[in-house]
Structure formats: C-alpha cells, structure tokens
Amino acid sequence: MNLCSTRNKSLRVNFSEAVASGLASDGGLFYPIDSIDLRRVLESDPPSFQDFAFTVLSELLAGECTSEDLEAIAHEAFYFSPDMFTIHERISLLDLSTGKTAAFKDYGASFLASWMSRFQSDPVVILTATSGDTGSAVAQAFYNKRNISVVVLFPEGKISQIQERQMTTLGDNIDCLAVNGSFDDCQAMVKACFADDQLRDSIHISSANSINIGRLIPQSLYYLYARKRIEGDIRFCVPSGNFGNMVAAMFARQWGMDCDPFLAACNENDTIPSFLSSDTYAAKPSIETYATAMDVGNPSNFERFMFLCEQRSISPQKLVSAISVTDDQILETIRRYYEMYGQFVCPHTATGLYYAEQELDKGLEGHVVCVSTAHAGKFRETVHKACGHTPDLPPQLQGLEDKPTHKKNIDANIEQFKQHLRKRYG
Ligand SMILES: *Cc1c(COP(=O)(O)O)cnc(C)c1O
C-alpha cells in the first residue's frame, strides 16, 4: 500500500512506515493513494468476519508482510465481529459494540496492537493522553502485547468510573497515570515528550492515536462486510465526531463498495454540517453533549476528507450530507426506540437513527444502515434519563468493580512525567 501526505502528494511511504510514524513529516495525514478494486473480493462469500478481514487485507496490504503474518494478525485482532440486525423494513443497525470496550474503536485499536506487536523488534512505549474512551480501547488492545508498553495519562476525577476501571484493572504492561489536571494538561505532557529528542534517543516512544492510518484502514472492513450482507440500494448513516469512521467508509466506497452517498450525523458540534451548507470551514471550540465521544469542534480527519474529494474531483456535498442533532432530539430518539422496538440505543447511535428517519420521511429511497458505534450500557445515566429504564452493562465490562486497580497519581508537570518514563523505561 502506497500512502502520501495530504499536504504533499510526492511524500510517499508504505503502510508499515505510515503506522510507525503516525503523522507525516510535513504535518499532513497519511492517505492511501493506490487505486484498489475490491469488487471481485466482494462477490465471494467467506464464512466469518476473520476470514473476510484476511481476504480484504491481503488485497490492501499486499507486499507489506507475508500472507501467514496477515492471516495471524486478522485472526488475533478480530476475535469479535460486527453484528447486523433490522430494526424495521427501512433501517438496519450495524452493531460494532462487541469488542473489549464495547465501541467501534476496538476494531482499529485491536488491529494496530496485533500489527505493531508482530513487527516490533525493540521495546516501544506508547504514550496516550485520554479523556476516557480512546485510552481504554488502546489499553485493552495492547494489554500483554509483546515488546510494547502503554502509558496512559488521564485527568484524575474527570473520566467516568467505568472508563477508569477499563484501564486501571489491567496492570502488567499498562501503566496508568492519573494526572492532577485537565485533559489538555495530559495532552501537553505527551506532546512535550515527542518534542524532546534527548528523551527519544533513550526511549523508543510511539503513539496510537486516531490519526494513525493503522486504526482507520481496519474500520473500512465492517462497511464492506455489512454491504455483502444486504441486497439492494443502501446508504450508510454514520454518527461522527472526528470524522475518522466516516472517512473509513469513504475509503471502502472508493475501493468498490456499492452504496449511495453517505449520511453523517453530528451532535451540536456542527462544524461539518455548517461547512457543507456554507462551503466555509470554521473550527469551533467543542461543546459538551450527551454524545460525548463526538464532542469535537475541529475534526482531525477533515483534512483527509478534503484530500479525498480533491483526488476524485468530487464536491464534498456529492459524497456526504450531514446534520446536527440536538441533545433533546437524542433523548427523544432513545425513548422512542425503547418504546417502539424495545431497543436500547446509545446517545451516539441515536443521532444516526434520528437522521435516518428524517431522510426516510422526506422520501429517501432504499435501505439505511445506521452504524451503532457503542453499547447503550456504557451510557446508562443518559439512557435512563431518556426512557426511564437502565440498560445492563455490556457483558465484557461487568465485574470490573471487583478487580484490583493500578494507577499512579502525578502532577501536571512535564519534568516529573519525563522522570517517570526514564526511571521505568530508560
Ligand atoms: C469515537 C466515537 C464516535 C465518533 O467517531 P469519529 O471517528 O471520531 O467520527 C462516535 N461514537 C462513539 C461511541 C465513539 O467512541
């Protein structure tokens, strides 16, 4: 797979290099530039998601590693698989909540962990600052992976108990630091380490953030898999924040997946819907909503989206439509799906269902596949507030209260953090 920087088409790397460096040296994002045609693969009928993932990845990543390596990675990473079920004759849910942290980010994190641990020859320390969800997906995915340690920084007292426990109950190679400060402090501490050449000479540090193309490519797999499972015209509706999941779907379409233009459901952070209606991009400070994982005012994958439109000489509006769904509409949708279908949905998924229904009411043809980005049981307070009933915790997150936790409290102090790294990993 050849990738270029979104800021310079002649800056080229292969997939392994793109995964290892995360961000291009000119500050751009890596973008897969090859023309790939998966239509033949999509016609075959493999038995499981694991085998399907292996088949598709063999096409995408040909020449990056041996077929045996790729098969082992696909089987190790995707021990969980997407589920699809029909809500009513016009809407299906693509359920991506069966992984370790019950949200779609498990797909990218799990693949990246398997890939890195297989090809990592010297010990590497992955630094992650988290406001809750990404850190837990990364920690769970890299737990016990050979030659890799994960250092997670989170703001003490500012993430939910369950998010904290998904990271701090692991131990071993997962090093959790509770920072006496904000999420921005955590991010600044990680950034300072990447800017410190002396530190980087003594410790091999890396990142696993959502900008990494190694997390995005595997997310294309579930769109392709879902497309195979349903006949006729379909349209995907994707609850979106940083726009990564949406761009992964656009890649799948570019590689031959047959579907209508996309629907992107945003929450009250309406940067993308405003851009599509005005053609002017204006980043905004993020605002807090019930769909917390989508509280993004300056979506990091916007640059990939624009580059994709430019490459294909297509206007952004021809590829995707978007709306902004309010908190009240989120609550109302959760309540309606519980009352009408007995179905608990998470606040993020609710934005997608709201949008899908609105489009169907306006006369949209065909079937809508809404991406269910997380398990409703991860957002029990909001769901209870909406419908008066509380969903069970996802099965994979039950029992965390009884496990011992490991975390170290530190101040929001860059020197103290570097000292910790040198002492433990230097
Ligand atoms: C991250 C996340 C989203 C948003 O996905 P993007 O790729 O950032 O657009 C939506 N829902 C849930 C549950 C998430 O964790």
Q: Taking residues 271-297, report their average pLDDT.
A: 94
Helices (H), 120-203: 133-142, 161-168, 183-194, 197-202
Q: Taking residues 237-245, report their average pLDDT.
A: 96
Q: What are the Cα distances from residue 292, in Å, to 40, 131, 285, 348?
A: 39, 10, 14, 8
Q: Which of the four pLDDT bands, split at 50, 70 and 90, describes residue 352?
A: very high
Q: Is 56 left (phi over 0), alpha (psi -120 to 50) or beta?
A: alpha
Q: Which helix (H) or strand (E) holds 3?
A: strand 2-5
Would you say the CB of residue 243 lies under 6 angstroms from ligand 1?
Answer: yes
Q: How far is the CA of 235 from the centre of ligand 1 (A)?
A: 19
Would you say the CB of residue 345 lies under 6 angstroms from ligand 1?
Answer: no
Among 294, 300, 271, 297, smallest CA distance to 207 is for 300
Does residue 34 contact residue 12 with C-beta atoms inside 8 Å? Answer: no
Would you say the CB of residue 374 lies under 6 angstroms from ligand 1?
Answer: yes
Would you say the CB of residue 290 lies under 6 angstroms from ligand 1?
Answer: no
Q: Which of the four pLDDT bands, split at 50, 70 and 90, describes residue 184?
A: confident
Q: How far is the CA of 192 from the centre of ligand 1 (A)?
A: 26
Any idea where the domains of the chain sit in the sequence? Answer: 81-103+214-396
Please write the tens of the pLDDT for every residue from 49-108.
999 999 999 999 989 999 999 999 999 999 999 999 999 889 999 999 999 999 999 999
Task: Provide the β-strand partners of residue 31.
Answer: 4
* Angle, in degrees to the nearest 10, between helices 183-194 and 414-425: 60
Q: Which amino acid is it at 63?
A: G
The CATH number, out of the four listed (3.40.710.10, 3.40.50.1100, 3.40.50.1110, 3.40.47.10), of the domain defined by the range 81-103+214-396? 3.40.50.1100
